Structure 1
């Protein structure tokens, strides 16, 4: 199944409810319990709480068609700061976020506790496709754990943990753009702390100006989703995004698409790379093809946004140059066209600087976007071929999937 932005938002909220001091505390959140959110059932596989520093985290998996947890795709959610009841969270905020320290005196810090939980996940489910999520301090931890363990992240309103990351994690981030997605609100003073060293930020314009209460712009409930569970991005946000933001949005969509296929691939490779009816792994052919089709569609939309933005910027550059020439002609009617352009060049106004150089950069971005699309299409074709090859080897599965 596809775990959506709206689901990650729900998990980021639900993990807060593990804290008995939280107003929404839910004592029914126990290991092994089945919960239903947004029409899908999930099992809580493991809960991690650390009394010394107030950390809460949980690992959950969706249930398959037979009611068993699908441990090929896990979500690990981390709770943020409980300002209303747990002073240990506030200490961790100052220690981990403010000082970029994993340990301060007697307090081992939530960063260390979070990595202990990640170690358990790696040991228990070594072949799982893992995505971390969280809100505020929870997203800070989720970003850190994703980077340190080479996992994917989708979260909300998180300060950036770049200062606390290891050298290896920083190198991995640089080589794997789009794996970390930190949705932030323009007006959120808390979530926008610590810069954007990880490059995970996708800034969304959900509020106008600065609200009287800064927590209003930081709220997890502020985020809106479409009928397919995807984050709803206001039209004005694309106009506010710079080239880096648009590229990050594209790469985030691309990684989402890749993870759909990676999860499918994990199922196909279960138990040493083969599938059989006795393993009770049922892959609906229509669903398998839908995954590839949906992923392709998402990527094309994102690519279109990037290409449109680049084309608009090139048009603006050409328009600016023409305005400069028009103004110059009006002020220097006695000069020839070449003499006029020569005079403009003495003050830095050249077509190469205003039009040609920026256009080369935008053309390169367009080409990069197209290459990403070609890479994805190649992988999608490879996965489809693998589906067909596996099914042909297992007639029992072939009957189930009705190929």
Structure 2
């Protein structure tokens, strides 16, 4: 099923028997995750994951789709699967329909579950935790954004110092062995500050700490229903949040690029000294050859053009270094602009909170 208006997508599959026929006693319902280029998906993230709204959203469609599939295959065992927004939908549908579930980096739907679903889910996980699992990369800001109220999270070793989506995407956020099992599962959970500080790894310490605290505070605040509802009403707000996190990751990457360019310039500046050292070493080795005079060696160096000035174009090296300086200067200006904008956004949020906090 695919709805171009809301962005909802789901597919139902069944494993194959040895004779090639589908095993209709086992049905898997897979929900698609967020497509960042699809505004309807961003709207669904805003209205469901953040605002907690269930009606007239992908959640309502997911529940209706699940009910239709269950009616089509009575008596089958159902499992919901999904990643990201799809993982959120899979967990919510599975809990409400009393299905098993396997999801990846799905924001936890605990606050959106009915009391009956919460009770059933707690009992299920206590008795059989493998029946309801949400594999979450320890460094993923999205999968960790809503805590672990369901108790379904299984935290997986991630790669530190990556971009925003590197630890979130299914292809880069998880490693699977030859049997299909996830490698590195079972590590301890990271808190919001650790996750945001890791995302900001390339930012200088003086800015990284306040930005990480700001990001962690935003993650925690969105879990409060009244705040999440207010933020979720505006799709543009969610898009700004996504852009802010992407900008944070970009700022970190930019600083790393400047370091690389600076290292290249350092190598260039040492070229002449290293070439001269190598020439002196070669001449010293030549002195050990019998009957070879110093004049012979110097003549060989001159004829074969082995001198440093014969092999190094200082003007070209200087030109490259000037271009490197220009690039580094541009990168620092971009970085300063991004970080100032992020800090300004945080200050604006603080003023808003002070102005409206008592109302």
Q: TM-score, normalised by structure 2?
A: 0.50
